[in-house]
Structure 1
């Protein structure tokens, strides 16, 4: 592991667990913190961390913090986005019955050994859900047992709820943050403190404009973002159907006098556009929610088929050559006029179309959004912006797929920045009770409200240690 750097007398040191490419490090470095320790088991992510933060974190926390070994040095702040797969809705949700779900106990060993002043842990929202209530209570109770003031009420934050001038980003990414302060000797722990909340002036109060607010690079020619022939064909084919549905809606408006500009909001399944004699087989044994959607699709098909039966037959013949997930459309773009006006995601549930306001959460598995107006995909650099990383952040020459994976596994710096500032404000009285707390309070309180410039200055542009081979 790396040799720890000394903490400046006016600043603080941090330990960065499950460090990824360094989202937490970006924030803590920008707030005046110095590196004490970092660990990341993924070789590619560790290489990016080393490239940007001067330290090679490649290692395994289970080898550095266990019953026999403690090689993590002393530090003032402990942070970590510990693995979310055991708690994620997209996983098996085994919680602490899964090996990765027990990694919290290695975090706890470092906490008990060094008693850092501040702890900030991040995970998926589902960790505080009903299926993981026991695990949630274990984490909260163990932190309190060590002497930390921590709320048992989940604090959920998303970058799209934070104004861009305070570090927000147009990405819906709800995450739970567990923030805890060490109670100084002689002071009393609040048995149930209020959860951390962001002040009103930080919160977003308007609709996002993805292209302007991120920003999106205004060009269709970004290497690595090209649509394949199949992807273009799928979109064009559904675009033809979108226009037919728009004509149908306009005819309904003329007939009823009621404005019906928006396309149907239920999932559109081309596989359900079948003859009446085939419908009972589809309904047989279907749960109620699916049967409702099937019947809506039957009615939609009947209405659209009346417009031009021959065209519909040709369209269906072609769409049935597509993969199953490309034979579905989720229209969430309200009254947008064209599929190409939208942000399009290729999902297992179909093509999802949304207005270009904000994007769904980046995920570690590749579901790169298509920027319809530019007829290309989101770039890796734009994905990094969604996580609040400056354009000076250096990913080297790694494949874009690795960068997307790292961003999907990472933390949003704007959220971390504001959560730390809000937590320090809430627990000011505790921090004033120790020298380490006062140094941390001073550094965080003096950090600007907009993290963007400070984050850009915190990054380094070249290796100062050898990256993992």
Structure 2
């Protein structure tokens, strides 16, 4: 491959559908190598990021990173300046007395480490689920940090935990609560990396530039219904509509009779019995959380027996709902109606949240329902929630595969925030062409993801804040 004229080059491992690619292209980089084992995800990546390029600018496409990183042979990955990887979390062996890279052998992190050992890119950027830095994975975390330091990368022992909803729209934020751990390292050589261990995390968990996360509006990532091909398949079924209507009737009756909506603990209609009817012995043998919910539901029934009885009489079909649809978890505070919330139909019941931001997209199909639209989020909208551009296309792919790919993806805005912050902080130890390219890039890598209303709202909010300060 001829030497790139770009300010920096990068490789995209466990690439998914290109969240890191979107961010690093925005920074001015050129992708020279992509590895993704899932065929459908790889095809989506190719369609959006590789096919539009000229033949000379296209990266090498690999299907299995283990084939390119043999234990007893050369690494088949070209030289690069930045390595990005949203690698799977796997348990590392705890046997014996091996440390660092040796102990990571047999895991996919070891394959990343082999590339770092051979190619020593200037920056490594890894992303993983929140629990990788939790107490259950303390061993894995320690091995990752130890390995990176042995390889010459200065890294923090403290994880950088971040979510796109902490960022305002102008900095690439989106209304998705998606806390992920980012591990960022700068190559300084083993002597320095093993000595310079007192390193703060790249970013702290929390809002940026005073952004109020409660100001998010889910509508900002929604497409106009008239523009959605095959809209009917995203609409709620007759049964789903009835489930919501019946529960919403309870919400309205509670407001009319009591002046508030519903409590925040899970409501289990099948457990609505007088508290005096609960058997203390049976409660004692149950898990504490379940016994607590049963007591709370019994007290809810005792406190609102008149409302519940009138509601049940008005909605006789409720007894025929599936068991999981006779449960509701209200997390929508003072939202006026269930139809104004964002809902999820879960095996554990219906969960309702205020329409300010959405929970993390996941690989399994538990697609958010936007009550005001009476339909599910489309794959295109889910991609925008990850910060991918409006032009991003799944090109007729199965929705199930598209949802899975987005759920496995990287939030572009969050990745850009931690990467750009790291590069600016470690500028003295990084190639200046990389630093300049990042510094000169616009603040927002997700320019087309949100509607114009988001920009207008943020602008109005900033103006109001300035007026208050000036006054």
The two structures, once aligned, show a CA RMSD in angstroms of 2.8
Question: Which residue matches 2:318?
Answer: 319
Shift of 1:342: 0.7
Residue 452 of structure 1: SS of its match in structure 2?
Answer: coil
Shift of 1:101: 8.2
Residue 73 of structure 1: SS of its match in structure 2?
Answer: coil
Q: 1:445 aligns with which of 409, 430, 439?
A: 439
1:369 aligns with 2:363: no
Listed as ranges, the matches of 1:54-69 within 5 Å are 54=50, 55=59, 57-69=61-73
- In structure 2, relative to structure 1, the CA distance for the partners of 1:277 and 1:201 (3 Å cut) is closer
Shift of 1:442: 1.5
Maintained 8 Å contact 1:43/1:58:
no
Maintained 8 Å contact 1:362/1:408:
yes
Shift of 1:414: 0.5
Q: 2:27 aligns with which of 31, 34, 45?
A: 31
Listed as ranges, the matches of 1:132-281 within 5 Å are 132-183=137-188, 190-197=196-203, 202=209, 204-205=211-212, 207-212=214-219, 214-219=220-225, 222=228, 223=231, 224-250=233-259, 261-274=260-273, 279-280=278-279
Shift of 1:327: 1.5
Maintained 8 Å contact 2:164/2:413:
yes
Which deviates the most, 360-369 or 198-207? Answer: 198-207
**Aligned equivalents of 2:239 and 2:85: distance in 1?**
40
Which deviates the most, 262-271 or 13-22? Answer: 262-271
Question: Which residue matches 1:17?
Answer: 13
Q: Deviations for 1:225-283, whole angstroms, at most 9, x for unmatched residues?
A: 21122211211121122222223313xxxxxxxxxx24211110012124678632863
Question: Which residue matches 2:390?
Answer: 391
Listed as ranges, the matches of 1:40-79 within 5 Å are 40-54=36-50, 55=59, 57-69=61-73, 70-79=75-84
Q: Deviations for 1:423-442, whole angstroms, at most 9, x for unmatched residues?
A: 011111211xxxxx222112
Maintained 8 Å contact 1:40/1:59:
yes
The alignment's TM-score, normalised by the length of structure 1, stands at 0.84
**Aligned equivalents of 1:57 and 1:115: distance in 2?**
20
**Aligned equivalents of 1:440 and 1:76: distance in 2?**
8
- In structure 2, relative to structure 1, the CA distance for the partners of 1:278 and 1:119 (3 Å cut) is same
- In structure 2, relative to structure 1, the CA distance for the partners of 1:176 and 1:310 (3 Å cut) is closer
Shift of 1:37: 0.8
Question: Which residue matches 2:3?
Answer: 6
Question: Which residue matches 1:257?
Answer: none
**Aligned equivalents of 1:200 and 1:162: distance in 2?**
6
**Aligned equivalents of 2:104 and 2:186: distance in 1?**
27
Question: Which residue matches 2:54?
Answer: none
Listed as ranges, the matches of 1:424-463 within 5 Å are 424-431=423-430, 437-453=431-447
Residue 304 of structure 2: SS of its match in structure 1?
Answer: helix
Q: Deviations for 1:424-467, whole angstroms, at most 9, x for unmatched residues?
A: 11111211xxxxx22211211111112234999xxxxxxxxxxx
The alignment's TM-score, normalised by the length of structure 2, stands at 0.84
- In structure 2, relative to structure 1, the CA distance for the partners of 1:33 and 1:276 (3 Å cut) is closer
Maintained 8 Å contact 1:5/1:36:
no
Size of the aligned set, in residue pairs, is: 427
- In structure 2, relative to structure 1, the CA distance for the partners of 1:181 and 1:347 (3 Å cut) is same
**Aligned equivalents of 1:337 and 1:454: distance in 2?**
31
- In structure 2, relative to structure 1, the CA distance for the partners of 1:56 and 1:386 (3 Å cut) is farther
Shift of 1:102: 1.3
Question: Which residue matches 1:124?
Answer: 129
Q: Deviations for 1:18-73, whole angstroms, at most 9, x for unmatched residues?
A: 00011111111121111211100000000011111215735111111121342111
- In structure 2, relative to structure 1, the CA distance for the partners of 1:310 and 1:201 (3 Å cut) is closer
Which deviates the most, 136-145 or 275-284? Answer: 275-284
Maintained 8 Å contact 2:151/2:189:
no
**Aligned equivalents of 2:350 and 2:127: distance in 1?**
30
Maintained 8 Å contact 2:274/2:301:
no
**Aligned equivalents of 2:448 and 2:262: distance in 1?**
44
